[in-house]
Chains A and B, each alone.
Chain A
Amino acid sequence: MIQRPDLLDPYEVAQLGGIELVARAVVEGFLAGLHRSPFRGFSVEFAEHRPYQPGDELRYLDWKMLARSDRLFVKQYEEETNLRAMLVLDVSASMDWVGDSGRLSKLEYAKRLVAALSLIMLRQRDATGLIAYDDGVREVIRARARSRHWWTLMSKVNALTPGGGTAAEPALRKVTDLLRRRGLAILVSDLLFDRQLVLRTLQYLRHRGHQVMVFHIMDPGELDLEGPAEARFQDPETGVSMVARPRELRAAYGSTVRRTIETWRSACRGRGIDYHHVLTTTPFGYVLRRAAARRSRLG
């Protein structure tokens, strides 16, 4: 039985090779299971044909070309009307944490997710860019629609290392500078920062007409409080620590985490933002499919 990489355990998939290879394998698998393009754009003016690939919507199939040449082609539209997407990747120190050696760190997972997302969008001829941040903006790659642009993105993503603290607002403000027209902002982060501040910025993006997606990356080890009978828990970004007994706080902690996730979810829903809670053990295909399904519903 052939395993689809997009449905395998992320850690196992990561063993296959570098980010690019993994992302391509994931995307291939992912697209093979779809009947139409997952992240279709807004443009209406025809630009060129490209060969049909599984997952493309049949409505974009060029039936005349099929009748003439008996070959499947999909119509592509003008670049200026294509979607412009900016991936905003959190590379703060908190992202470089893994609760178990058999898992990807949040950052490694996020890098592969970003790679897959960017590949999908570039294949749709959507202009895709990247902003990486920690306590400041670390990397900015403007959105391009060329297929080779993905390699540029990947070289930068590969070079990203975990940084210091977390400050998402400057990065998100940078998005408004880079997306002059309506576009798509995708925030990939563990969201360990001031929620209200970031939500205001995200809401500002929505006011500017952009669509916003948030991928809340979380290690399963963050869902439950585990550890020795008593331990000093230390924040890798700020160095702030506190002594706690996991056994005493476990239930309350779990409740706090679930409440936080629900708060994020409802806050995003109220602002028209796609929110996806993603565990680092979730196969990439599931995440992509869920995100695609949501986008389909939102139109």
Chain B
Amino acid sequence: MISFLHPLALMALAAGAIPALLHLRSRRLPPVVVFPAIRYLTATEREHSRRLKLRNLLLLLLRTLVIVFLVLAAARPILRLASGRSHPPSAIVLVVDNSLSSGAVVQGRQMLQLIGDAAREALSQTNSGDHIWVVLADGIPQRVTRTEAARILDNLVPLPIRLDLGRAVRIAARTVADEALDGKRVVVFSDLQRSALTRGEVIDVPLLIPRIGKLAVNRWIDSTFSDPPLWSPSGTVATAVGGTDDRTTTVRLSVAGRVLDRTVAGSGDQVVLTGQLDGLGWAVASVELDPDELRADDVRFTALFSAQPAAATALSGAGEFVSEALQVLQGGGRATSGTDVVLGDRPIQGTVVLFPPADPASLGAINRALADLGVKIQYGELLEGEWQVAGDLGTVTGSAVFRRHRIIGPGTAFAAVANEPWLVRDGEVVLVGSRMEPEWTELPVSAAFVPFLDQLINQVAAHQRWIVDAAPGDVVTAPPSASEILGSNGASPIPGDHRLVAPLVPGVYFLRDAAGDTVGALELNPDVRESMLEPADDRTLRTHLGQGTRITSRQDLSRLMFVDDKRADLTWLFLWAALLTAVAEFALANSGRSGRQRP
């Protein structure tokens, strides 16, 4: 079927009537020429009338055809074919998965090399008229030329980040959706992990997915958990081993190159590795497995902090639930008896965590006492309702609050309710907006209460350190007091909103405050979903990416790349036809002009 790249040009086909119109116009009033030899002319016309009529008809036809052919050529006619190299200018997105899993070795070659080869072959099918984008594991479409695309493909390296393939494909589809070009397609070059697929909006751009290689058998460290979070100076690291095979592997806990503990585990096992740090302070530990086909997920980093638990006392005004939870913490070694941190409902000198008083009448005296201590934050009006706690204290996030006092004044907020500060520190005073009683909040009767109190005493009140767990490239929120992050290239400042993009190299990055003290650590480890090398079957692919998804073999990629758009550009054919027709017209028009002969 013939289509046209510039169909508007076909309007010029009306010009095909020009020869006929000129012919009719010229017939209107020809000039009169007196000619005595009209006898000869009449005889000539009589003898040649049929030939002349045929010749004139042919000339008219040829002239009309010349115009028609030229107009058709200008409209850029395209004939779609079952085979051929040419295709109309298309918008093509190459989604190239260079996520962590692409570093796996398959049949002696890295999966990313196979992916790159396939992508280069697809790129070779494009032509200079195509608009090309490349989407890598970062999910950001880059508009590139063919040369730039080739350079990108030549320099691919596996990144220790996760590619959400469903999201990347949808971004790619949206990228080309508004392109004015005829052909639009997204081609995915990936190991097609099932865990990389997510559902989303319908993709209405043709999607071609070649299957590249087979996924390797893999083991990985699923998670590590430091218990207790505050080593003293010994502790354990609970480690979960993930995998798709039944073989066992060695699991080692190391600090600064020294193996603290080792054990043997199989896929799906959880093991506890014990260790003791040389002294108080921070340490970077790694848990490592024996190497397999995917090395990047065989090690996991964790930050260990060794310190003495805070000595805490609960005054009667803090409430019964607080007192009992503190006793649990002291029994478990997470706190000791003492007055480093005082929990109560009235301010005193030293580090204190205040809960609102049970008697609202004493609120004014408490605020005056806070002011006398130089504290800028105070309790405000009492509010009732139902809200949820939000903020950086993971243990209480989402817990319901029914009654609270507003907290007024500048301070560092650690948790909020209804976008208003709920847990705020100023200096050595920490104000909590609600009493720890069931009428005020569900926290005291929830499992999160003791960990919350642990955080409140050992981290918020005692100025102890934060540990943020994230994946490379994630956007993370640093602790309020952190002002810079230490990396291999030195310290980098943290933006004012405390949000920063985590580095791409896995490891432990320490956070420092303005005074140069280390206030926390950023643990960067790959997303474990990248380690799950279970392939997605065709049905799963179509379920997640659309039923129109064309899944093909690596060998058929080139053939199917533009199978719907294979075409022959007929422009030159029509130009040649116009030229030949013009030549024929010229020859026919001059066929009657022979050299003059004298009798």
Partner-B contacts on A (CB < 8 A) = 93-95, 97, 190, 192, 222-225, 227-237, 240-244, 247-258, 260-262, 277
**B598 close to chain A: CB less than 8 A:** yes
**B27 close to chain A: CB less than 8 A:** yes
The answer to whether B41 and A233 have CB atoms under 8 Å apart is yes
Known: A228-B30, A242-B42, A248-B55. A258 touches B35 (CB 8 A): no
Q: Min CB distance, A69 to chain B, in Å?
A: 50
Contact of A240 among B38, B594, B596 (CB under 8 A): B38
The answer to whether B41 and A249 have CB atoms under 8 Å apart is yes
The answer to whether B41 and A234 have CB atoms under 8 Å apart is no
The answer to whether A230 and B27 have CB atoms under 8 Å apart is yes
Q: Min CB distance, A6 to chain B, in Å?
A: 21
Interchain Cβ contacts under 8 Å between A and B, 18 examples: A93-B36, A97-B36, A190-B36, A192-B37, A222-B40, A223-B598, A227-B35, A229-B26, A230-B26, A231-B32, A234-B34, A234-B38, A235-B38, A252-B48, A253-B40, A254-B596, A258-B597, A277-B599
The answer to whether A256 and B47 have CB atoms under 8 Å apart is yes
**B515 close to chain A: CB less than 8 A:** no
Report the nearest A residue to B28, measured CB to CB.
Answer: A230
Question: Bound state CA distance, A241 and B35, in angstroms?
Answer: 9
Known: A223-B598, A257-B599. A244 touches B32 (CB 8 A): no
Known: A223-B598, A228-B31. A249 touches B44 (CB 8 A): yes
B36-80 contact mask (Cβ, 8 Å, vs A): 1 or 0:
111111111101100010011000000000000000000000000
Contact of A262 among B39, B598, B599 (CB under 8 A): B599
Which residues of chain B (130-177) have a CB below 8 Å from chain A? none
Known: A232-B30, A234-B35, A243-B30. A249 touches B593 (CB 8 A): no
Question: Bound state CA distance, A222 and B45, in angstroms?
Answer: 15
Question: Bound state CA distance, A262 and B31, in angstroms?
Answer: 32
**B332 close to chain A: CB less than 8 A:** no
Q: Which residues of B contact A234 (CB under 8 A)?
A: 32-35, 38
The answer to whether A251 and B38 have CB atoms under 8 Å apart is no
Contact of B38 among A229, A242, A252 (CB under 8 A): A242
Q: Min CB distance, B57 to chain A, in Å?
A: 12
Task: Name which of B31, B35, B594 has the most chain A CB atoms within 10 A of its CB.
Answer: B35
Which residues of chain B (1-37) have a CB below 8 Å from chain A? 26-27, 30-37
| Top 7 A-B residue pairs of the complex, sorted by shortest distance between their CB atoms | A94-B36, A222-B37, A233-B35, A235-B38, A256-B44, A261-B599, A230-B30
The answer to whether A252 and B47 have CB atoms under 8 Å apart is yes
Question: Bound state CA distance, A255 and B595, in angstroms?
Answer: 11
**B592 close to chain A: CB less than 8 A:** yes
**Extra inter-chain contacts (7) besides given A97-B35, A232-B33, A252-B47, CB under 8 Å:** A234-B33, A240-B38, A242-B41, A243-B30, A248-B56, A249-B41, A251-B594
Q: Which residues of B contact A247 (CB under 8 A)?
A: 589, 592-593
B479-521 contact mask (Cβ, 8 Å, vs A): 1 or 0:
0000000000000000000000000000000000000000000
Q: Min CB distance, B592 to chain A, in Å?
A: 5
Contact of A222 among B32, B36, B48, B596 (CB under 8 A): B36
Q: Min CB distance, A262 to chain B, in Å?
A: 7
Q: Min CB distance, A245 to chain B, in Å?
A: 8
B564-599 contact mask (Cβ, 8 Å, vs A): 1 or 0:
000000000000000000000000010011101111
Q: Which residues of B contact A250 (CB under 8 A)?
A: 592-593
Report the nearest A residue to B598, measured CB to CB.
Answer: A223
Report the nearest B residue to A229, measured CB to CB.
Answer: B26
Report the nearest A residue to B55, measured CB to CB.
Answer: A248
Question: Bound state CA distance, A229 and B26, in angstroms?
Answer: 9
Question: Bound state CA distance, A243 and B598, in angstroms?
Answer: 25
Question: Bound state CA distance, A253 and B42, in angstroms?
Answer: 9
Query: Is the interface on chain B under 10, 10 to 19, 20 to 34, or 35 or more residues?
Result: 20 to 34
Q: Min CB distance, B166 to chain A, in Å?
A: 72
Q: Which residues of A contact B47 (CB under 8 A)?
A: 252, 256
Known: A228-B31, A229-B26. A244 touches B596 (CB 8 A): no
Contact of B45 among A192, A249, A260 (CB under 8 A): A249
Question: Bound state CA distance, A240 and B40, in angstroms?
Answer: 13
Q: Min CB distance, A66 to chain B, in Å?
A: 46
Question: Bound state CA distance, A222 and B596, in angstroms?
Answer: 12
The answer to whether B597 and A254 have CB atoms under 8 Å apart is yes
Known: A234-B32, A241-B32. A249 touches B37 (CB 8 A): no
Q: Min CB distance, B532 to chain A, in Å?
A: 84
Known: A244-B45, A258-B597. A231 touches B33 (CB 8 A): yes
Question: Bound state CA distance, A261 and B39, in angstroms?
Answer: 13
Known: A231-B30, A232-B31, A253-B40. A242 touches B599 (CB 8 A): no
Contact of A253 among B32, B41, B599 (CB under 8 A): B41
Task: Name which of B37, B44, B589 has the most chain A CB atoms within 10 A of its CB.
Answer: B37
The answer to whether A241 and B38 have CB atoms under 8 Å apart is yes
Q: Min CB distance, A247 to chain B, in Å?
A: 7
Question: Bound state CA distance, A203 and B381, in angstroms?
Answer: 145
The answer to whether B36 and A236 have CB atoms under 8 Å apart is yes
The answer to whether A224 and B599 have CB atoms under 8 Å apart is no
Known: A230-B26, A230-B27. A242 touches B45 (CB 8 A): yes
The answer to whether A225 and B30 have CB atoms under 8 Å apart is no
Q: Min CB distance, B524 to chain A, in Å?
A: 87
Report the nearest B residue to A228, measured CB to CB.
Answer: B31
Task: Name which of B27, B30, B40 has the most chain A CB atoms within 10 A of its CB.
Answer: B40
Q: Min CB distance, B496 to chain A, in Å?
A: 85
Task: Name which of B38, B55, B598 has the most chain A CB atoms within 10 A of its CB.
Answer: B38
Q: Min CB distance, B77 to chain A, in Å?
A: 34
The answer to whether A257 and B37 have CB atoms under 8 Å apart is yes
Question: Bound state CA distance, A95 and B43, in angstroms?
Answer: 20
Q: Min CB distance, B380 to chain A, in Å?
A: 102
Question: Bound state CA distance, A228 and B45, in angstroms?
Answer: 17
Report the nearest B residue to A258, measured CB to CB.
Answer: B599
The answer to whether A224 and B596 have CB atoms under 8 Å apart is yes
Q: Which residues of A contact B26 (CB under 8 A)?
A: 229-230
Question: Bound state CA distance, A14 and B42, in angstroms?
Answer: 33
Q: Which residues of B contact A190 (CB under 8 A)?
A: 36
Q: Which residues of A contact B42 (CB under 8 A)?
A: 240, 242
Q: Min CB distance, A286 to chain B, in Å?
A: 14
Task: Name which of A235, A236, A261, A277 has the most chain B CB atoms within 10 A of its CB.
Answer: A235
Q: Which residues of B contact A227 (CB under 8 A)?
A: 33, 35
Question: Bound state CA distance, A232 and B33, in angstroms?
Answer: 6
Q: Min CB distance, A144 to chain B, in Å?
A: 33
Contact of A223 among B30, B592, B599 (CB under 8 A): B599
The answer to whether B594 and A260 have CB atoms under 8 Å apart is no
Q: Which residues of B contact A256 (CB under 8 A)?
A: 40-41, 43-44, 47
Q: Which residues of B contact A228 (CB under 8 A)?
A: 30-31, 33
Contact of B52 among A237, A240, A249 (CB under 8 A): A249
Q: Which residues of B contact A240 (CB under 8 A)?
A: 38, 42
Q: Min CB distance, A27 to chain B, in Å?
A: 27
Contact of A232 among B32, B39, B45, B594 (CB under 8 A): B32
Question: Bound state CA distance, A93 and B39, in angstroms?
Answer: 14
Q: Which residues of B contact A225 (CB under 8 A)?
A: 41
The answer to whether B34 and A236 have CB atoms under 8 Å apart is yes
Report the nearest B residue to A227, measured CB to CB.
Answer: B33
Q: Which residues of B contact A277 (CB under 8 A)?
A: 599
Q: Which residues of B contact A236 (CB under 8 A)?
A: 34-36
Question: Bound state CA distance, A230 and B23, in angstroms?
Answer: 10
Q: Min CB distance, B478 to chain A, in Å?
A: 89
Known: A242-B41, A244-B45, A254-B596. A237 touches B31 (CB 8 A): no
Q: Which residues of A contact B40 (CB under 8 A)?
A: 222, 253, 256-257, 260
Q: Min CB distance, B278 to chain A, in Å?
A: 110
The answer to whether B30 and A192 have CB atoms under 8 Å apart is no
Report the nearest A residue to B591, measured CB to CB.
Answer: A251
Question: Bound state CA distance, A295 and B574, in angstroms?
Answer: 67
Contact of A233 among B33, B48, B55, B598 (CB under 8 A): B33
